[in-house]
Chain A
């Protein structure tokens, strides 16, 4: 993944600031609770939700099991329909391919549809280094790009911003990127959306190269699918002469009919709608309709490594709906930036360490960024058992040892010995109870607990002692 996030502090450190940022907490709480309730209603409309969820899971599992076959089939279908397929083993190679394709058109600017894959590889930065300007056209991505900020949510990258902050960013920054914000811009969402429409329209109309990702690719037909709401996607996919789509290899599904499952589960899980306003489906190039040249860049970048892990591979089922973020109590308080990745929230906590490897400070801490409450698994439309994968990754972190885990391991081993010897346990309990008047209110080392909480008072006797005296 991109170098942008290397050197991120561990999750607890990054989350500490967010937790104490009153504005951020209020923004996140308002947004996540709004969408949470709407999603529950949209899902409750479908009596066969559980069956759709199971079908989605099975389609993805089946595809992943035969991923080589379906990718080869996809490649043939796209090629037959007039497209060109490229394969990129990592971010660097993908960026190289895209930059060369843009340069071959002679253009120095591109318009982009919101895409997780291109964020993951840091495409905008790579293009900038080659003298190519990439304009984000999704409203939230525009807010992030103008604000020189980082995305904090999969669906709503500017979820951490409220309307007043967005108005300020538009007023200050739109002018230096193109058409300035209208005079007297208010903070009503309708006016802000109108400002974005005017600012971006000139870019859409003159665009010669569009760059996108895709939500799905159909192996059988070579069809790519993009779900969106604003119409910026349609603009980028339709008006330019050249279209380049960068898509993770796990986004393929076998057949046309498979889409009927995700067309029902993705919008309801994501924006909590029966259907999102616009979904575009295209197969290669079409005569006199849309781009004359189409390139598909298939991206690995850590996915085959994830596929090799028998527990962790289920993370590749993810359809990027972000329902897990919206229900997560940790995400709600820590915010997306603390996850140090374009993939925040519960899915990010299992996806980022797998795609990047469990090495950096942030990736070692992500599997622990959860209270294991299970709300994420409950809402996941492809039934990714996120708590199960978190536990699995915690085992990997422990197995590789390293900073912070040596001391913990010693303590766990010592406790393990006592717990395996009930007589020793009884003695420890007796000593603790007997000397409880001598214990300081906040014993050393308990700081992480006692900063905001009292410790429980030690009882006069353990249950074990009571039982011995009263029932034997």
Chain B
């Protein structure tokens, strides 16, 4: 028996001894609200827009037909000449952009990703109350490094399909076996005098497009 196995058994035995006489502690009562937002898709979309913007994401709205031009314009506005493209991203989204496309074959090294100016993705869902988009590495989103290393992230959210009101409404729609990244605004820090500053290691610019279905 290795020391670690010994520690496993010892820790579990100590836990059992520690709580042997402890009072019963039933499973939690979930009396809290399922949502704090009105049950109205348009209001929920407005709330998402407002909360994303509050934490310094740039928010845009577009229809399917306007999307390619908007994406191209956003890339150009930031001077992005190369874009990382996740597997499964609708080809139309980048159709109007004059950029070098770096399709991710899973082999782009961190250094190569660091040399790419931007990344364009979809998402798994967005949460209005907290101004959060969640990525689950599904089609059109790519692996986690893709949305981390480039300095500009353009994320397209399909509304209303991908928009939920609250965190409790998001949980059942997410698959915990997939790697999940919850993003609420661009990278930020409060480490200097507890004042919030946007832009540290993650993408310093987050552009969110709310796409009308």
Contacts and interface: CB of A to CB of B under 8 A. Distances in A.
B193 A139 contact: no
A313 B18 CA distance: 10
A18 interface: no
Nearest to A53: B32
A261 interface: yes
Interface string A272-294: 01111111111100101110000
B53 to A, nearest CB: 12
Interface string A35-65: 1000000000111100110110011011011
A411 to B, nearest CB: 36
A427 interface: no
A78 to B, nearest CB: 12
Contacts of A62: 25-28
Contact of B197 (A138, A190, A201): A190
A260 B171 contact: yes
A248 B89 CA distance: 40
Contacts of A116: none
A334 interface: no
Contact of A139 (B17, B21, B26, B191): B191
A138 B191 contact: yes
Given A249-B11, A256-B176, A193 B189 contact: yes
Nearest to A46: B36
Nearest to A237: B144
B202 A277 contact: yes
A190 B190 CA distance: 11
Contact of A65 (B25, B29, B181): B25
Nearest to B12: A68
User: Dominant SS at the A interface?
Assistant: helix
B143 interface: yes
B129 A234 contact: no
A72 B12 contact: yes
B36 A274 contact: no
A31 to B, nearest CB: 4
Interface in A205-262: 205-206, 218, 221, 223, 229-232, 234-235, 237-239, 249, 254, 256-261
Interface residues of B, number: 78
Contact of A271 (B3, B114, B181, B190): B190
A143 B191 contact: yes
Nearest to B144: A238
Interface string B95-114: 00000000000100011001
Contacts of A231: 148, 187, 200-203
B182 A275 contact: yes
Contact of B184 (A218, A275, A310, A313): A275
A261 B8 CA distance: 29
A175 to B, nearest CB: 20
Nearest to A236: B201
Given A47-B36, A232-B201, A278 B187 contact: yes
Interface stretch (A87-95, A360-368, A371-379, A399-407): A87-95
A304 interface: yes
B197 A223 contact: no
Contact of A229 (B5, B12, B24, B190): B190
Nearest to B143: A289
Contacts of A66: 19, 25
Contacts of A282: 179-180
A274 B25 contact: no
Interface stretch (B64-72, B73-81, B130-138): B130-138
A280 B180 contact: yes
B29 A55 contact: yes
B188 interface: yes
Contacts of A140: 191
A61 B202 CA distance: 36
A163 interface: yes
B167 A308 contact: no
Interface in A431-448: none
B192 interface: yes
B171 A310 contact: no
Given A139-B191, A156-B191, A304-B14, A234 B148 contact: yes
A163 B145 contact: no
9 tightest A-B contacts by CB? A231-B202, A231-B201, A58-B28, A308-B18, A304-B14, A289-B143, A230-B200, A275-B130, A65-B25
19 contacts: A34-B193, A58-B29, A62-B25, A65-B23, A65-B25, A93-B3, A139-B200, A189-B195, A201-B201, A205-B110, A256-B171, A257-B172, A263-B182, A273-B184, A277-B187, A300-B7, A304-B11, A304-B15, A305-B14
Given A47-B33, A237-B144, A307-B18, 5 more contacts: A81-B177, A93-B3, A159-B194, A271-B196, A310-B21
